[in-house]
Structure 1
Amino acid sequence: MARREEKKPLWQRLAWLALIWGASVLTLAAVAGLLRLFMSAAGLGTP
């Protein structure tokens, strides 16, 4: 059976987009921080 899709309001779709974007940026920052931590622990930091 085909279900009729109800389109959500624009502000709600944009809010989801912003939430997903923000979560991806924070995740990328966390991964970069961990890589930096491991590299400095291995002696690969900048002087």
Structure 2
Amino acid sequence: MPQSPRSSSPTARGLWLRRVGWLVLIWAASVAALAVVAGLFRMFMSFAGLTV
């Protein structure tokens, strides 16, 4: 008996979780990159004498 294409592919739930996982990973990486850039700006501003 031939197998249907669905039985060999990942489940819909697994695919959804994988997509959401990538979304969360990309979001977290962008937040971390923004924090690094903000920290660098703050450091450069303090070197220039611009303190709060």
TM (normalized to structure 2)? 0.72
Q: Percent identity?
A: 54
Q: Which runs of 4+ in 1 moved over 4 A?
A: none
Bigger helix share: 2
User: TM (normalized to structure 1)?
Assistant: 0.80
Q: If you compute each CA radius of gyration, which structure gives the higher value, 1 or 2?
A: 2
Report deviation, 1:20.
0.2
Q: Partners in 2 of 1:45 and 1:14 — Cα distance? A: 40
Structure 2 unaligned runs (5+)? 1-8
Distance (whole Å) between structure 2 residues aligned to residue 28 and residue 45 of structure 1 = 20
| 1:44 aligned residue | 50
Unaligned runs of 5+ in 1: 1-5
